[in-house]
Amino acid sequence: MAWTERDEAMWDEIMAWEQSLADVEGNDLQYTYSKWLHTAFEAMPEETTATFFNQLDNALFQMHSLLQGSQFQHEARERILTSARVFNEEVNTISDMKKLTLDQLAYLNRQQASRHRLYSLIQGGITGTGGAVPVSTDFLAMILINLRAVQVTAMSYGYDPQTPFEMMASLKVFHAATLPDRLKVVGWQELLLELEEQEQSFFYQEPDQLTDTTWLEGPIKQLFKLMAITVFKNKKMSNLPLLSLAIGVGMNYRLTKTVTTYAEKYYQYRLLQEKKVDSE
């Protein structure tokens, strides 16, 4: 397919978004927090730290597999394909999604992204009530919602996360999207570097380590959110814990909006890069 003016415009949008990531700078509080976290982990035995992060990686792999085998994911796959056939009747598989224009794919994907943002908003509202069960399950629920959001974004742009390479790609996109804001550009550059080094999209030799001390800044921020909700849940207006509700809804929605936008830019970049190569 020929490279069009619309493709060029969308490419420029991605480059502008990438520059916005590079322009983010951390403040003194963030750097102090990061230094404290690294110091805390450096004080632990190296073997203990390695075991901890290996188990964390394994948990993410297990959650990814759980989502891929779920009925919800099968329904999402069929829903995406059915919606795509409105634009092109020849769409029968996930890879066939690439027969659609990028604007059509973006339209379909944003419908799915809106669903996940709504899920996060509802989850944040439930957690914001301060109940013991919602608070204790919020962290796991948010990981599942945002992992699923990345997987659905991949499918919406024609990349099947059930294949080994795309499974790792979706996990790495999730990892990069949940890094601290000042480091999201580093995660983005690593994703693009891996694409350049990719020889084929089906086989990979071994899973790479995903989590590390830097990545933990995000999950720990979520734990601070839960602590704040617990503290403010009894401060009510009109018999509602409005402050804790606002914290839960706001932080959960912002996280999923960030993840869905990041994933969308990544898969748009890949499609445009492939098209650019094909048109040369």
Q: Which of 128, 122, 134, 138 is nearest to 241 (CA)?
A: 128
- Give me the residue spans of the domains in the chain: 28-279
What does residue 12 show for φ and ψ, rounded to 5 degrees? -65, -35
Cα 215 to Cα 192: distance, rounded to the nearest angstrom: 19
Query: Would you say 157 and 97 are in contact if contact means Cβ atoms under 8 Å apart?
Result: yes
Element spanning 4, H or E: none
Q: What is the pLDDT, as a whole number, of residue 199? A: 56
Cα 81 to Cα 53: distance, rounded to the nearest angstrom: 36
Q: What is the pLDDT, as a whole number, of residue 192? A: 94
Q: What is the pLDDT, as a whole number, of residue 274? A: 92
Cα torsion at 109, 114, 117, 121 (round to 10°)?
-170
The pLDDT tens digits along the chain (280 residues) read: 678 899 999 999 999 999 999 999 888 888 888 888 889 888 989 899 999 999 999 999 999 999 988 898 999 999 999 999 999 999 999 999 999 999 999 999 999 999 999 999 999 999 999 888 989 899 999 999 999 999 999 999 999 999 988 999 999 999 999 999 999 999 999 999 988 887 544 455 555 678 888 899 888 888 899 999 999 888 887 778 889 999 999 999 999 999 999 999 999 999 999 998 877 6
Q: What is the pLDDT, as a whole number, of residue 29? A: 83
Q: Return the DSSP state at 163.
A: S
Q: What is the pLDDT, as a whole number, of residue 1? A: 64
104: tokens are 């059509």
Query: Would you say 153 and 109 are in contact if contact means Cβ atoms under 8 Å apart?
Result: yes
Cα 70 to Cα 237: distance, rounded to the nearest angstrom: 40
Q: Return the DSSP state at 94.
A: G
Cα 263 to Cα 150: distance, rounded to the nearest angstrom: 6
